Structure 1
Amino acid sequence: MCGIAGFIDFSKQSDHQILIKMTDAMIHRGPNDAGYEVFEQDTAMIGLGQRRLSILDLSASGHQPMHYENYTIIFNGEIYNFREIREELRMLGYTFNSDGDTEVLLKGYAAWKENVLSKCIGMFAFVIYDRLKNEVILFRDRAGVKPLYYYWHKQQLFFASELKGIMAHPSFPKEIDPDSLSLFLQYSYIPGPFTIFQNTRKLAPGHLLRVKLTNGEVSESAYWNVLRSYQQEITELPESEIIDYTASLLHSAYNYRMVSDVPVGVFLSGGYDSTSVAAILQSDSTSKIKTFTIGYKEQAWDESAEARKIADYLGTEHFEWIVGPEEARGVLEHLPEIYDEPFADNSTVPTTLVSQFAAKEVKVVLSADGGDELFAGYNKFNQSLKYTNSFPRIIQRSLSGMMSLVDPENIPYFNKQYNFSSRYEKMKLIWASGKPQQALKYISQYLTESEVGHYTGVGKSAYQTNFDLNGELNRISDPLNRLLAVDYKTFLVDNNLVKVDRATMSVSIEGREPMLDHRLVEFLAQVPSSLKMKGGVNKYILKEIVHRYVPKKLMERPKRPFIAPLQVWFKDELKEQMQYYLTGSRLAKSGFFNVPHVEKLLAHYLAGGKVSHQKLWNMLVFQLWYSRWIEKL
């Protein structure tokens, strides 16, 4: 696990000192070692930098950049099956000087070029410089577990594992993209490939970016796309075989993620996803695995007791930390440093805290993201199907048309209900579209497009995101699977994976995502929705597997998201911070907000109005980010 950074500068303005600055901006991603190399070509300066967090082969033989023949690599991530690939390469005559996966990936590329990716089980972002072909290629793993950003403008291409690495280049203009800001305020994150800055992109999961040094041509292409898996024929295997095969894939995926030369632990919330990881790994281990959870003094949000019961039943070595607003206050000011573009997922605070807690014991931790996307756990999937199938299309269109004639603020009784205007607007849009995938889009928004226009001068974003996939979804026959594919390409990659990667790396531990093993993803994509939601039970397949290890009565409880009680704290202990950053004078500095409207919303919220705190949280996070990265630089 590492941080990588570099440049391909056709203007030849970049040098070794700039590369060091870019790379060392991410020292938290790799405190154990560093490497920086600059290559001068006739047409460009190429800089490759890496910060190393030693997880496999702790010796100096894992130093990067690493060279072989005409190839140079910098690599962030893990190839869990590197030993099997290494044996295959040895049969072809390759020899090895290290016991890590970087050398295997490098020589695998020499042997098979991009086809090496089809052999890799892992998470990765890496760069190959091929001096013979005179090109540089950037790669990102299938799920997007490992991040990779790039800026391409005016003959300069900068790339890094985090935006702060790109921002460290003196030629990078920190120009905010208003369309991306609009997306952020809607969703609380910025869906890829967009970022908060102009001319700056996230390399899409399962994609590579090829840069030809001879003519400066830059092109992005896919080597893997989850849609292709969902477009396959639905499997006709019987239920028992589907469950058994899924269980075998889980065992393989989970145990591969235990490959490490340093201590490994598991985040445990007590829900089905994290319990499946802890239960299967503990059943396959002769020693106690380490599990970590945090809880809250506010009982309505606290899951620590449930997690403790699961840990006691499984016999793990369990670590628990009960936190309150004081711990949250310490995290809030650091969020812009950890998440270096606006990012307002409510669970950033607990994820950062549990990462800090786990870092005292382990250097690698397994999370369980992807379970809701793969096994259909979120209620938003049920809602999206229900809302668009409850009435015939003609009635939906008529209802939507009538709703357009009425201001929700003028509807007695209902206008006093929680977040009513937003929900009213969403239902109007859902019935106007009639499409479950569009319903998922609107349900996923915290501020609707019209509200963004009301509270800011930004307005509707001109960008099309993966929420707006259309023709690509028509080849997916199963309606639920369409929604799972969209959520995989949006909320999972650009929200959940960002959250865990930045939180863990901020304290120099490696976060792994065993549920996103591509073999599991590809198989479950072909499983019918009737088994993902069966008899009114979401996540049916996973629950059947977990019940083999943990009694059903111990698991059955209402599903709760892994979030902090911010809506309580912002009216009490953290009220001062909310008020400070959302005052008119501070809001006016960025020039994006309609100050009177935001101040009115804040006053209504603090007076006990039934306002979604997430709307204000999104604005607060942007203000925190703006203060750190724009005002101070």
Structure 2
Amino acid sequence: MCGIVGFISKQKDTQTIKEMLKIQSYRGPDDSGLFFDESGVHLGHNRLSIQDLSPLGHQPFVSDCGEYIISFNGEVYNFKPLREELKALGYNFISQSDTEVILYSYKEWGIRCIEKFIGMFAFAIFDKKKEKLTLVRDRAGVKPLYYYHKENNFIFSSEIKSFHQHPHFQKEMNYEIIPYYFQFGYIPTPHSIFKNCFKLEAGTYLEYDLKNSDYQITKYWDVNDFYKKEKLDLSESEIITSLENILEDAISIRMISDVKVGLFLSGGYDSSLVASLLTKKHSKKIDTFTIGFEDKKFNEAQHASSIANYLETNHHEYYVKDSDIFELIEQTSFYWDEPFGDSSSLPTMIVSKMAKEKVGVVLSADGGDEAFFGYSKYIFLNKFSNIFSSSFKLSLLKFSINLIDDKLIENINNYIPKKFRQTNIKDKFSKLKRAINSNNLYNMFMNASSYTDNKIVTKMLNLEINNTIFNNFKNQNIPSFMSHMMAVDYKTFMNDDVLTKVDRATMSVSLEGREPLIDHRIIEFMAQVPDSIKYKNNQAKYLAREILYKYIPKEIIDKPKAGFQIPLNQFLRGELRHIVDKYIHKDRLDSKIFNIEEILKIKNDFLNGADNATQIWFIISFQMWKERWFD
């Protein structure tokens, strides 16, 4: 993993590109490099050495003919067979890096070369002959890439924070997008928190034409295309065998590294599946890492430990203290340089720090829910989807659930013994009510996916709310509602929340994170598996479980999973209470954005016992970001 930056300016400006690199140097502390061409192209690179640790892997990398230059972040795991293919065509290589393979692949096959790559990547290639600068992002969006375009200014970077170092970057708040953050906890692609600043969408490339100072974006891969294909005409056993073979290869090629590789192990099905297939293929013990909490409702360390013991991994665990969260909390706004509301970013930073002490690369089993039909909301919504065909049943259900007050649910929960008490019960019930009150299946799904009711967001903010940004996902012509949900989450929540979280957390300690379950071959295959096999016998992740049960007994693996959460209520009312008071204060709240009276009411409700810690955290995260990067 690395960091890349660049811009177009006829005037050579090495100082600016150095400053852009410096502020994200943690992405690649091993080396840095600059490139300038008289056409105005500036490229910069921070290197985290993973493949070919020698100076020959230095970037930006220039082709032997001098016509092609690349600045690359990520990994192309199948670079060795591609290099052999290129050697047979007459190419000579001076390094053992995948960077050189990418560049000569582009020279030989043009932009279509990206269709050959298996990996995670964000890169810029300057083609002197064509006078074009091309930016490319991988199919899932594992690696980040932002660009800024206003008038004749074009800037790009792995992270937005580098833009602040450029004299022509104007930090104008994108007020229209703020309500989406408070609903979903992230800024949705392709938008950013700043005007004229965008995320390059996953599976696309951008070609900037130096002759006319303009660009166009092309989509080269779309998960929807595979959901629309004919379903596989295979038996269940054939599907399981094929999937296991793809999984084995996806995991094995991500072990290719010149530094030590480990695995985040939560004890859930996804990370246990990766651990099982790793131990099957590799005789050497794998290092596994997990964290725990003293609060048993949030603690999965014991379960992860039992999986590790069964698989005989070299296991490391750490129990998080309040002081750990206290030390990290105000750092999050530096590494997540847009508002980011997922509080599991904090434990992800902690487990990344622990892993970095032992390994240089870590596998993370994200994407299993989107690939294997894993989220509980999928199961609930799939069961309720047939109610929409019966107006009587739907009306009866809406009438019944609207009789129940959110506060009543919260009060009942408070009388339940602590060990059985549900966390965030009010939020969960509110989501359920919003989903059932939806007027169509798509809105039901989006309401179940949001953290905060649109009506509450409207009361919180002094901003006009535009609910059209996700409309392009509504009519995707995907045959089933099950598939539609998975495809939308792949493009939204997985990309903008899950992968952003893991990238920033691992990069904060210069650790490379790899995502075997998001290998595009797995996603393409699973998209073509019939729904009846994806979800069978009322079991989420049916196929993943069937493979996993070959390696770990059911009685060990089948445990309730809490998810990678933190006891947010406990922290914000305890050790971090001062953070609540510091950032949610009438003198610090911007009345252009917030309805201050309503925000203070939300805070007071929380301090008086309301189960609305997620809302509180979203507000605090926004405030920390704004004070660091905008004010």
User: Out of 573, 576, 579, which is 1:577 matched to?
Assistant: 579
- Separation (CA, whole Å) in 1 of partners of 2:253 and 2:231: 27
C-alpha deviation, 1:8, in angstroms: 2.0
Distance verdict in 2 for CA 1:357–1:420, change over 3 Å? closer
Q: 1:524 aligns with which of 517, 523, 526?
A: 526
Map of 1:260 onto structure 2: 257
Q: Deviations over 1:423-476 (max 9, x none)?
A: 5587456544221x32221111111222111011124235513x651332x2x2
| Aligned match for 1:440, one of 442, 445, 464 | 445
Report Cα offsets for 1:466-497 as digits up to 9, x if no partner. x651332x2x2232111111110111111000
CA offset at residue 165 of structure 1? 1.3
Q: TM-score, normalised by structure 2?
A: 0.94
* Deviation for aligned residue 1:360: 0.4
Q: Distance in 2 between matches of 1:349 and 1:127?
A: 31
Matched length: 618
1:470 aligns with 2:474: yes
Secondary structure in structure 2 of the residue aligned to 1:215 = coil
Equivalent in the alignment of 2:4: 4
The reply to whether residue 66 of structure 1 matches residue 64 of structure 2 is: no
SS in 2 for 1:492: helix
Q: Is the 8 A contact 1:7 1:47 kept in 2?
A: yes
Contact 1:140 1:203 in 2 (8 A): yes
**Matched letter for residue 45 of structure 2:** Q
What residue in structure 2 maps to residue 452 of structure 1?
Answer: 457
Distance 1:219 1:470, change over 3 A: same
2-structure distance, mates of 1:13, 1:506? 33
Partner residue in 1 for 2:179: 182
Give unmatched runs, 5+ long, in structure 2.
Answer: 413-423
What's 1:613 paired with?
Answer: 613
Shift of 1:415: 8.6
Q: Offset at 1:580?
A: 1.3
> 1:279 corresponds to which letter in structure 2?
S
The secondary structure found in structure 2 opposite 1:585 is coil
Q: Which residue of 2 aligns with 1:23?
A: 21
1: CA distance, partners of 2:434 / 2:558: 35
Task: Indicate whether 1:597 and 2:570 are aligned.
Answer: no
Task: Give the corresponding residue for 1:508.
Answer: 510
Shift of 1:401: 9.2
1:35 maps to 2:39: no
Task: State the secondary structure of the residue aligned to 1:210.
Answer: strand
SS in 2 for 1:191: coil
Checking the alignment, whether the CA contact within 8 Å between 1:148 and 1:159 is kept in structure 2 is: yes
Residue by residue, what CA displacement relative to the aligned partner does 1:372-408 show, whole Å, maximum 9, x if unpaired?
100011001112223332354534775799799x898
Q: Which residue of 1 aligns with 2:418?
A: none
RMSD after superposition: 2.1
Mapped to 2, the partners of 1:257 and 1:126 lie a distance apart of 19
- When structure 1 is superposed on structure 2, of 50-59 and 394-403 the one drifting more is 394-403
Letter in 2 for 1:139: V
Distance 1:614 1:5 in 2: 34
Conserved 8 A contact 1:372-1:539: yes
Residue 311 and residue 413 in structure 1: after superposition, are their counterparts in 2 closer, same or farther (change >3 A)?
closer
- Give runs of aligned pairs for residues 265-280 of structure 1, distance below 5 A: 265-280=262-277
1: CA distance, partners of 2:395 / 2:388: 11
Displacement, 1:583? 1.2
**Cα distance, 1:80 vs structure 2:** 0.6
The answer as to whether partners of 2:462 and 2:594 remain within 8 angstroms in 1 is yes
* 1:128/1:138 contact within 8 Å kept: yes
Letter in 2 for 1:434: N
CA shift for structure 1 position 220: 0.8
Aligned with 1:119 (options 116, 121, 138): 116
Are the counterparts in 1 of residues 438 and 444 from structure 2 also a CA contact under 8 Å?
A: no
- Give the distance between the partners of 1:400 and 1:215, measured in 2 at CA: 58
Between the aligned partners of 1:261 and 1:420, the Cα distance in structure 2 is 48
Distance 1:130 1:294, change over 3 A: same
Q: Deviations 1:515-539 (Å, cap 9, x if unpaired)?
A: 1111111111000121111111100
Q: 1:317, CA displacement in angstroms?
A: 0.5
Tell me if structure 2 keeps the 8 A contact 1:393–1:434.
Answer: no
1:51 pairs with 2:46: yes
**Do the aligned partners of residues 233 and 340 (structure 1) sit closer, same or farther apart at CA in structure 2, a change above 3 Å counting?**
same
Provide the residue aligned with 1:487 in structure 2. Answer: 489
Q: 2:293 aligns with which of 278, 292, 296?
A: 296
How many angstroms apart in 1 are the aligned matches of 2:618 and 2:195? 20
Matches within 5 A, 1:171-320: 171-320=168-317
User: Would the alpha carbon gap of residues 527 and 563 (structure 1) be closer, same or farther in structure 2, given more than 3 Å must change?
Assistant: same
Judged with a 3 Å threshold, the aligned counterparts in structure 2 of structure 1 residues 165 and 128 are, in CA distance, closer, same or farther, namely same
| Residue equivalent to 2:95 | 98
Secondary structure of the residue aligned to 2:587 is helix
Is residue 388–residue 431 contact of structure 1 (8 Å, CA) maintained in 2?
no
Classify 1:97/1:13 alpha carbon distance in 2 versus 1 (closer, same or farther; 3 Å): closer
CA distance in 2, matches of 1:397, 1:219: 45
Contact 1:7/1:14 (8 A) holds in 2: no
Deviations 1:323-365 (A, max 9, x none): 1211011110100011111111121011000001101011100
- The one-letter code of the counterpart of 1:37 is F
What do the CA deviations read for 1:21-73 (whole angstroms, capped 9, x no partner)?
112211000001101112222xxx21100000000000111111111131111
Which amino acid in the other structure matches residue 193 of structure 2?
I
Query: Could you tell me the TM-score, scaled by structure 1's length?
Result: 0.94
1:532 maps to a residue whose letter is K
Match among 319, 337, 343 for residue 322 of structure 1: 319
Specify the alignment match of 1:546 in structure 2: 548
Contact 2:435/2:445 (8 A) holds in 1: no
Query: What is the CA–CA distance in structure 2 between the aligned matches of 1:489 and 1:533, rounded to whole Å?
Result: 21
Rounded to whole Å, the distance in 1 between the matches of 2:603 and 2:54 is: 54
8 Å CA contact 2:431–2:451 kept in 1: the answer is no
State the Cα distance separating 1:421 from its structure 2 match: 8.9
Deviates more, 1:344-353 or 1:383-392: 383-392
| 2:543 alignment partner AA | I
Q: Deviations over 1:68-114 (max 9, x none)?
A: 13111110000111000000001111110000100000001100011
| Contact kept in structure 2, 1:137 and 1:209, CA below 8 Å | yes
User: Is the CA contact 2:434–2:447 (under 8 Å) kept in the aligned structure 1?
Assistant: no
Letter paired with 1:554: I
Percentage of matched positions with identical amino acids: 41
> Contact (CA 8 Å) 1:396, 1:431: kept in 2 or not?
no
Q: 1:287 to 1:425 in 2, by over 3 A?
A: closer
Match of 1:587, SS state, is: coil
Work out the CA distance in 2 between the residues paired with 1:532 and 1:39.
52
| Pairing 1:328-343 to 2, within 5 Å after superposition | 328-343=325-340
Partner of 2:415: none
Deviation of 1:574 (Å): 1.2
Tell me what 2:349 maps to.
352
d(CA) in 2 for partners of 1:20, 1:491: 33
Relative to structure 1, is the Cα distance of residues 172 and 95 closer, same or farther in structure 2, using a 3 angstrom cutoff? Answer: same
